[in-house]
Amino acid sequence: MMRVLEAQAPAKQTATDTISTLSGRLASATLLEDRRAAILGLRSFAKDYPASVASGSLRGLIACLVKDAEDVDTLKVVLETLLGLFNPNEQSPEASEEIALWLADEFTMRQDNLTLLLDLLETPDFFSRLYSLQLIQAIFTARPERTQECILAAPLGTPRLVATLDDPRDAVHTAGLVLLNDLSQASTELQKLFVFEDAFKKIFSMIEADGSLTQGGIIVQDCLSLLANLVRFNSSNQTTFRETGGVAKFASLLPGNKKPKKTRTSEDEDDWVSPQADKNVWGLLAIIRMFLVRGSTSTLSNQNAFYKHGLLQQVLNMAFDPSTAAPIKVEALNTCADMIRGNGPLQEAFAYLQVTPFYTSAVTNGTKSPNGIMTVHVIEALLSLALTPAGIDFFDARFAACECILAYCFRHRGIRLHFLNRAIDGHKRGEDETPNVLTTLITGSPGSQVVDPYRVWFAAVLAFHLIFDDAEAKDTLMQVSEGDAESGEEVVTCIQTLTANLIASLQLGEDERIAIAYFMLLSGWLFEDQAAVNDFLGEASSLQSLVQNALRPGSDHTIVKGMSAILLGIIYEFSTKDSPVPRAELQPILTSKLGREKYLDVISQLRQHPLVRDFEIFPRDGMSGGPLPDVFFDETFVDFLKDNFSRLSRAIDREPHMEVQISHKGVDRNELDALNGELAEKKSAIEKLQAELLTAEQRLNQEQADHRRTHESLQSQVNTIKRINEDLHRNHDTEVDKIRREHRQSILDTENKLNLQINALNNKIKQAEKDTSLAVNKAKQEGDEKFREASKVRTDLERRLSEAHRSRQEALETIRSFEATQRRTKEEIAIVRQTISTLEVNLRESEAQIDKLKHEREGLEKEVEKHKGVKGDLEKKVQDQTWKVKDMEEKLGKAEKEVKEKEEARAAAQTELDDLFVVLGDLEDKRSRDKKRLKELGEEVSDAEDDDDEDGEEDEDDEAEDEE
């Protein structure tokens, strides 16, 4: 029995067949419940069989977004199914990245499909807004460029997306925030549109609602990411941010200002700090630096705005606050450097700011603020931070402090000279309690250099920037010397002292960073400065040490060997025959002891070293993982080395007698261009004059040849004229007699012709006079006839007008009779009475038209009488009058027609009134019959009803009499 039942059971249905059945049901269902049931079934298969569901029902699901948009439950199921297709199970056999691409193409290739999702953001339903945002996010992940294009093309696309940030539900505005972050990363157009929709204000509102920087969490980080996307490399948005009060928002968010905190349930949590607080503050500082990109057109305006709102002092205080974390200190110092770099007024004002130093024990000349805290000028604090020996943990902060000082001196010659003079004065007095750049370089701290080589390195970098490409600064620093000649001490110049420290560092095997620091400073100092080169060559033994260091065996110490060769090349390039070691003696040292090939090899290895070749891509921080950071070179020095590498490579090949002439004063380019222009003009003028001279000579030769030919031609013509003159004298008398006879004969012929023409003209004149008189008489007769015809027309017109007058009188009488009949109508037929009153108004208008026609007739009569005496224009005026008469006849015909139509309308109204009376009579008869029947049946009829019947009969009698 069981086998029989199993054999009769239907075949087991597969998942593919089920999906196909559900897809067909979704496509053909007309009822909402049927579609919802089909979608529920498809949702259960979406994650496990995404390809099957998408191929069979994707367009049907999208169509449901339109059909069932008002049904929240169905809409939710549809969106969940679509999300399941974008995010299938990893174990699904149909899971593939191509499915997401295909689904995204279905939405992005048709603008309407993506617009549907954007339209759903207008609905207040939680799931509709959340799932729509997640779907757009999934589509953007698969097809970012097309999605951006569709959002740009969609009406109200960006306003709806930005409006999601105002949603009070965390899930919705978080999803909107993430989507806006992704959309704004690579599209400048979307960035501008988001800002136009007041995105800045919404972002700051979300930050404050989440607890600001100190108490905010991941939401604040996402808001800062979106803010960074909107302002990065976008001058337009930065200007909008600056003009809409965004800088003041920065000041209120950063530590040091009062700002609202997120409400907590316990008073103990008022000072609660989020674990993300440091990341939030660091992120905001990084955003501020995006406004201060070097070379940007809006950087100067942003710097002024930040300084105006006190951000510079606020960020400095945060950098020197002991409670601030180290990464934030570094970012704050870098931000301060960006705020003042290249802005002269701010660089000058920066030196007057005061802060609390890191190392209060090292600074005793500060001043106390009203709250008892020691404060010093910011430059002193920065020097203390950069030049005070410290561990590797403080490297980033020291490097940032050095960058801040360099920004203070950046492209401001006055500040550089002032800073250098202060350093020189402090070094000479020896009473400067703040670490001194020059003192650090000249004396140093041998005990600490092994542990902290960056103390000398930072001092060398600062000195390098102070004198680089500045002849006056180099001359000022050259005046520094050690030793008192009056006391019998040996005087050692600053260059020689620095060189001695360099040689000692190489010989003692100290950290390479110390030697590299001295190499950088000496290379920048000696370059294009013959006086400095001569000062260096005053201690000739240094040359031998540099050559020996460049010849050091082994493949290590590539940088130090290369820097030694670079310094030797600079010395030879800018030395002279008057140098303490003349060029003729320097060349053998380089070519014989060092060797040309070795020289080129070591500087080439330096150029190809990763720290030089890939300098831009190496991080310059303390996170190298070794005992010391991998920071060896300064950025400006690397650029200097790369720019002059070719020149230094060729220096060894220059002959000793070929000296380089250097003029620190330089040449005025404008004067040089002007002189070149004048020279070119003079050359062109000379060439032009030479061409004109050659042309003039050719023209002179041509004119001389023409003159000779003309002279010969004229001579031949004179001879010809002489012969002709003789012939004319011989034939003159004969010709004169012949001409006289011909002249007399022509006069006679002309007189005869003229007499004949005069007679013919007289005859024509007489005939014309006769024809003219006849034409005048004929025209006069025709004019009289036309006048008589006009008179007849006028008579006929008067007759017609009288007939029209009689017709009007008859119409008036008819109207009066209609009015009398109208007064007898009852109030129950108010509609008919209104129609009749309308007809009366129309009739009065007709009377007005008739009166108007009568006035026109009188005017025409006067016009006819006035123009009786004018015969010349009679024909034309009669014709005009004839047309006017025709117009009057047409108007009279229209008036008569309108009167006739009104009479017919009145007759129709009267007929309708008669019909109503007949109907009323029938109703009264029926009522009377009903009463009689009631009486016969024994029913009582009230007297009031009888009275009503009698009144009705009397009213009918009165109406009958009125009709008679």
Mean pLDDT score, 415-419: 95
With bands split at pLDDT 50, 70 and 90, how would you rate the model's confidence at 340? very high
Amino acid in position 244: T
CA–CA gap between residue 444 and residue 387 (Å, rounded):
10
**Whole-number pLDDT of residue 954:** 46
**Whole-number pLDDT of residue 162:** 95
CA–CA gap between residue 92 and residue 49 (Å, rounded):
7
Q: How far is CA 271 from the centre of its chain?
A: 43
With bands split at pLDDT 50, 70 and 90, how would you rate the model's confidence at 146? very high
Domains and their CATH numbers in the chain: 13-95 (no CATH), 96-197 (1.25.10.10), 412-652 (1.25.10.10), 715-861 (no CATH)
Convert the pLDDT of each residue in 361-388 to its tens digit: 444 455 555 555 688 999 999 999 999 8
Residue 889 has pLDDT above 70, yes or no: no
Greater pLDDT, 565 or 946: 565
Residue 939 has pLDDT above 60, yes or no: yes
Strongest mean pLDDT among 53-57, 107-111, 330-334, 766-770: 330-334
Which of the residue ranges 163-172, 335-344, 687-696 would you say has the lowest mean pLDDT?
A: 687-696
**Whole-number pLDDT of residue 642:** 94
DSSP 76-96: HHHHHHHHHHHS--TT-TT--
Token output for 229: 């996307």
Burial class from Cβ neighbours inside 10 Å (0-12, 13-18, 19+) for residue 222 reads buried
CA–CA gap between residue 4 and residue 21 (Å, rounded):
28
Decide: 187 and 147 in contact? Cβ < 8 Å: no
With bands split at pLDDT 50, 70 and 90, how would you rate the model's confidence at 960? very low
Burial class from Cβ neighbours inside 10 Å (0-12, 13-18, 19+) for residue 37 reads middle
Residue 957 has pLDDT above 50, yes or no: no
With bands split at pLDDT 50, 70 and 90, how would you rate the model's confidence at 338? very high
DSSP-assigned beta bridge partners for residue 374: 368
Burial class from Cβ neighbours inside 10 Å (0-12, 13-18, 19+) for residue 594 reads buried
With bands split at pLDDT 50, 70 and 90, how would you rate the model's confidence at 942? low
Which of the residue ranges 104-113, 206-215, 896-905 would you say has the lowest mean pLDDT?
A: 896-905
Beta-carbon contacts of 453 under 8 Å, excluding residues fewer than 6 positions away, are 510, 511, 513, 514, 517, 628
Q: Is the pTM of this model over 0.85?
A: no
Task: Report DSSP state, residue 742.
Answer: H
Token output for 464: 């390098």
**Whole-number pLDDT of residue 963:** 42
Q: Count of CB atoms within 10 A of residue 270's CB?
A: 11
Token output for 921: 């009579």
Which of the residue ranges 257-266, 326-335, 880-889, 930-939 would you say has the lowest mean pLDDT?
A: 257-266
**Whole-number pLDDT of residue 614:** 92
Token output for 385: 């931070």
R_g over Cα of the chain = 57
CA–CA gap between residue 597 and residue 608 (Å, rounded):
16
Task: Report DSSP state, residue 654.
Answer: S
Torsion angle of the four alpha carbons 905, 909, 910, 911, in this order, in degrees rounded to the nearest 10:
100
Greater pLDDT, 894 or 537: 537
Which of the residue ranges 174-188, 562-576, 913-927 would you say has the lowest mean pLDDT?
A: 913-927
Q: Count of CB atoms within 10 A of residue 103's CB?
A: 21
DSSP 280-344: HHHHHHHHHHHTT-TT-TTHHHHHHHHHHTTHHHHHHHHHT-TTS-HHHHHHHHHHHHHHHTT-H
**Whole-number pLDDT of residue 360:** 45
Decide: 366 and 357 in contact? Cβ < 8 Å: yes
Which of the residue ranges 341-355, 536-550, 903-917 would you say has the lowest mean pLDDT?
A: 903-917
With bands split at pLDDT 50, 70 and 90, how would you rate the model's confidence at 14? confident
With bands split at pLDDT 50, 70 and 90, how would you rate the model's confidence at 4? very low
Residue 124 Cα distances to 164, 462, 706, angstroms:
11, 61, 104
Mean pLDDT score, 304-310: 95
3-state secondary structure of 187: coil
With bands split at pLDDT 50, 70 and 90, how would you rate the model's confidence at 80? very high
Q: Count of CB atoms within 10 A of residue 874's CB?
A: 18
Q: How far is CA 547 from the centre of its chain?
A: 60
DSSP-assigned beta bridge partners for residue 377: 354
**Whole-number pLDDT of residue 664:** 52
| Mean pLDDT over the full length of the chain | 81
CA–CA gap between residue 316 and residue 293 (Å, rounded):
19
Which of the residue ranges 232-241, 382-391, 483-492, 493-502 would you say has the lowest mean pLDDT?
A: 483-492
Strongest mean pLDDT among 1-15, 28-42, 192-206, 944-958: 192-206
Decide: 36 and 17 in contact? Cβ < 8 Å: no
**Over pLDDT 90: what percentage of the chain?**
42
Decide: 436 and 419 in contact? Cβ < 8 Å: no
Residue in 765, 768, 916, 944 with CA at minimum distance from that of residue 829: 916
- Report the greatest alpha carbon distance in the chain: 167
Convert the pLDDT of each residue in 26-46 to its tens digit: 877 788 888 888 888 888 888
Decide: 232 and 191 in contact? Cβ < 8 Å: no
Task: Report DSSP state, residue 451.
Answer: T
Token output for 673: 């261009």
Convert the pLDDT of each residue in 535-584 to its tens digit: 999 988 899 999 999 998 878 889 999 999 999 999 999 999 999 999 99
Which of the residue ranges 650-659, 777-786, 868-877, 913-922 would you say has the lowest mean pLDDT?
A: 868-877
Residue 448 has pLDDT above 60, yes or no: no
Amino acid in position 731: N
With bands split at pLDDT 50, 70 and 90, how would you rate the model's confidence at 704? confident
Residue 3 has pLDDT above 60, yes or no: no
Residue 498 has pLDDT above 90, yes or no: yes
CA–CA gap between residue 182 and residue 937 (Å, rounded):
95
Burial class from Cβ neighbours inside 10 Å (0-12, 13-18, 19+) for residue 191 reads buried
Mean pLDDT score, 149-173: 93
Decide: 237 and 230 in contact? Cβ < 8 Å: yes
Residue 839 has pLDDT above 70, yes or no: no
